[in-house]
Structure formats: C-alpha cells, structure tokens
Amino acid sequence: MSKIEEFNKERADYNEVLAKYANRQQKTFYGLDAKTYEGGALNKKTKELLGFTSSLVLRCDDCILYHLIECAKSGVTSEELSEAVSIGMLVGGSITIPHIRRAMKIWDEELAPE
C-alpha cells in the first residue's frame, strides 16, 4: 500500500470516529471545510494551492499532504508547486523546511505528473 493509500485509509478510519462524537457545530464545520475549496471566483487549482501554502506556513503535515494530493488532482505541475513552496518557505521561514522535505518526497514518489 502506497503512503497516500495509507494516509487515505487512516483518514477515512479516523473520520468515522470523528463523526461518532461530532456535535452539530462540528458537522457544520466539516461541511464548510468541503464547500470552501470548491471552484468559484477562484478555480479549484488556485484554492488548493492556497490551502497547501496555508498548511505549510502553519506546519501541519497531514494538512499539507491532503492539499498536495488535491493539488495533483487539480493539475498542478511540479514547477507551479515549487513556486508555491517558495512563497511558503519565504513567509514561514526555515522552520518550514522539514515539512517541505516530507511533502516533496511524497510528491516525487507518488504525485508528480511527469
């Protein structure tokens, strides 16, 4: 099983537990989370890049990986991703580098289009 399959499986598994204990407010929040990245005035690809870079500067590996997968699905190229990474690295500093390492590793192994 690839790292991404493993991530998706664990995510699905954990989401069942989340659903079990979620109150109405949390359910609204999860619904909002899905809605917010749908294409609108900004297209899906731009929104996923925004989600990716936000996750990068806040340094959350799971969030980074989630948006990385969505970036790949939306047709982001390696060069485009690299420019988004540059912005996150510049804004967020060298403290983001370990997260970038892990992101690019999985991009290289399982997601890069070429």
- Give contact residues for a copy of itself (rule: CB under 8 A): 11, 14-15, 17-18, 20-26, 28-29, 31-33, 35-37, 40-42, 46-47, 49-51, 53-63, 77-98, 100-102, 104-105, 107-108
User: String of b and e for 53-70 (b: at least 16 CB within 10 Å)?
Assistant: bebbbeeeeebbbbbbbb
In the complex, least distance from residue 113 CB atom to a copy of itself, rounded to whole angstroms = 12
The Cα–Cα gap between 74 and 91 comes to: 24
Q: How far is the CB of 64 from a copy of itself (least distance, A)?
A: 10
The residue (of 4 and 60) whose beta carbon lies closer to a copy of itself is: 60
User: In this complex, which beta carbon is closest to a copy of itself, that of residue 5 or of residue 109?
Assistant: 109
What is the closest distance, in whole angstroms, from the C-beta atom of residue 107 to a copy of itself in the complex?
Answer: 7
